[in-house]
């Protein structure tokens, strides 16, 4: 069983239960989480929802995209579109849930894991937490509402994280707006038990988090208008640490991620960001470097992707153009 969904006391409980796979999110898991939230929304017995995960290595290290890869390789691009569409609808359901959702995020919280935990109303991190949006390393873009979160990070942190895929510890995650409270993980079981019993988030109290580091870094280079301008500024500054991932990650993904984080700053609700993300991911298996990135990083693990897509203005426009009948729409669209 990949998920353990139940009601305990006054809490709806969702536990990711694939620790051997770092709790990677499958299509079925995304659908099941969404169904549970729909069931509990009008259930007066459920005062709040707790989302946690088994194992100590990861809350959720990302989406399980092997099936999307193999389908895309065989010319079936619909399977990926269906997965991303349903995943994003689940992400929006978490963000808009009318009752408190408390997410306990240990270990790796990446990509699809941010989509599950990062939109909860109360996001708790501990000593082992490492949060990242590393999609540009596999030829994708920060999705699952990631561009929405990145667009609201202070300064140029959003651009920096989108392009580099850098990992944040608990202090940086709180500073960047990806988490709310630092609580030592040893305290989590008792805290969850109290939430189950009382159904009240008022008792949640954070402790001083490890110091943030992103607030002390000069990220002004990431204010460059284009990816080449950012790279040139980093070269001029001699910032080899930031340059290394930019020379390694997919150019089209980085250029698109940069544009999408900046576009999301004008969004008034996360659904707008999700719909924009879907324009890229719906085309990803057919028209981007995504399949090659997954092959190199996840399937063959040779870590030697050959990026073929040139991030021209025309290509960017094509990847982010409306999808017509396939556009990700929302029933409550304003």
Q: What digits encode the pLDDT tens for the residues 265-300?
A: 999 999 999 999 999 999 999 999 999 999 999 999
Residue 235 placed within a domain: yes
135 is catalytic: yes
Residue 333 placed within a domain: no
Rounded-to-integer distance, Cα 305 and Cα 261, Å: 24
Residue 321 placed within a domain: yes
Catalytic one of 64, 87, 135, 289 = 135
Tokens in use for 314? 């025309």
Q: What local confidence, expressed as pLDDT, does residue 3 receive?
A: 97
pTM: 0.96
Instruction: Give every CB contact of residue 51 below 8 A, 6+ residues apart in sequence.
Output: 14, 15, 16, 101, 102, 103, 104, 116, 117, 120
Which phi and psi (to 5°) does residue 123 adopt? Answer: -110, 110
**Cross-strand pairs, 103:** 51, 123
Q: Which CATH number goes with the domain that contains 187?
A: 3.90.226.10
Instruction: Give the range of the structural domain holding residue 16, as residue numbers without chain letter.
Output: 3-326
Residue 272 placed within a domain: yes
Residue 60 placed within a domain: yes
pLDDT > 90 in the chain, percent:
97
Rounded-to-integer distance, Cα 115 and Cα 64, Å: 13
pLDDT band at 194 (very low <50, low <70, confident <90, very high): very high
In this structure, what DSSP letter does residue 309 have? -
Residue 297 placed within a domain: yes
Which contiguous run of DSSP H or E holds residue 103? strand 101-105
How far from 134 is each of 9, 138, 142, CA to CA, in Å? 37, 8, 7
pLDDT tens for each residue of 6-26: 999 999 999 999 999 999 999
Is the pLDDT assigned to residue 219 strictly greater than 70? yes
Average pLDDT, the chain: 96
Domain count along the chain:
1
Rounded-to-integer distance, Cα 69 and Cα 228, Å: 29
Q: What local confidence, expressed as pLDDT, does residue 132 receive?
A: 98
pLDDT band at 332 (very low <50, low <70, confident <90, very high): low
Catalytic one of 112, 115, 118, 293 = 112
Catalytic one of 143, 159, 172, 277 = 143
In this structure, what DSSP letter does residue 209 have? P
Residue 334 placed within a domain: no
Residue 13 placed within a domain: yes
pLDDT band at 1 (very low <50, low <70, confident <90, very high): confident
| Angle in degrees, CA 108, 109, 111, rounded to 5 | 125
Rounded-to-integer distance, Cα 137 and Cα 160, Å: 14
> What would the mean pLDDT of 105-118 be, rounded to a whole number?
98
Q: 93 and 42 in contact (C-beta within 8 Å)?
A: no
Q: What is the DSSP string of 16-80?
A: E--GGGTTPBPHHHHHHHHHHHHHHHT-TT--EEEEEESSSSEEE--B--HHHHHHHHTT--HHH
Catalytic one of 12, 52, 62, 63 = 63
112 is catalytic: yes
pLDDT band at 334 (very low <50, low <70, confident <90, very high): very low
């Amino acid at each position: 069983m990949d998920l353990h969904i139940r009601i305990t006391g006054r809490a709806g409980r969702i536990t990711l239960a694939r620790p051997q796979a770092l709790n990677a999110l499958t299509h079925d898991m995304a659908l099941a989480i969404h169904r549970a939230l729909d069931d509990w929304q009008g259930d007066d017995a459920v005062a709040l929802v707790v989302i946690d995960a088994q194992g100590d290595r990861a809350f959720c290290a990302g989406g399980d995209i092997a099936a999307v890869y193999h389908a895309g390789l065989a010319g079936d691009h619909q399977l990926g579109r269906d997965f991303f569409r349903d995943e994003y609808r689940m992400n929006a359901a978490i963000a808009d849930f009318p009752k408190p959702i408390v997410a306990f995020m240990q270990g790796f919280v990446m990509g699809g894991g941010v989509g599950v935990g990062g939109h909860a109303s109360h996001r708790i991190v501990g000593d082992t937490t490492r949060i990242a949006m590393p999609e540009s390393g596999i030829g994708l873009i920060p999705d699952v509402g990631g561009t929405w979160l990145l667009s609201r990070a202070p300064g140029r942190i959003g651009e920096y994280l989108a392009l580099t895929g850098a990992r944040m510890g608990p202090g940086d995650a709180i500073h960047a707006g990806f988490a709310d409270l630092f609580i030592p993980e040893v305290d989590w079981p008792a805290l969850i038990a109290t939430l189950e019993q009382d159904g009240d988030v008022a008792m949640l109290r954070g402790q001083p988090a490890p110091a943030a580091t992103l607030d002390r870094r000069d990220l002004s280079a990431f204010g460059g208008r284009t990816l080449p301008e950012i790279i040139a500024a980093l070269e001029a500054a001699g910032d080899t640490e930031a340059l290394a991932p930019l020379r390694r990650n997919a150019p089209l993904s980085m250029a698109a991620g940069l544009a999408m984080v900046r576009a999301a700053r004008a969004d008034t609700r996360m659904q707008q960001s999700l719909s924009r993300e879907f324009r890229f991911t719906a085309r990803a298996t057919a028209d981007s470097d995504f399949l090659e990135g997954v092959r190199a990083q996840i399937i063959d693990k040779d870590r030697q992707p050959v990026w073929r897509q040139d991030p021209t203005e025309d290509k960017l426009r094509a990847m982010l153009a409306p999808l017509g009948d396939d556009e990700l729409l929302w029933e409550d669209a304003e």
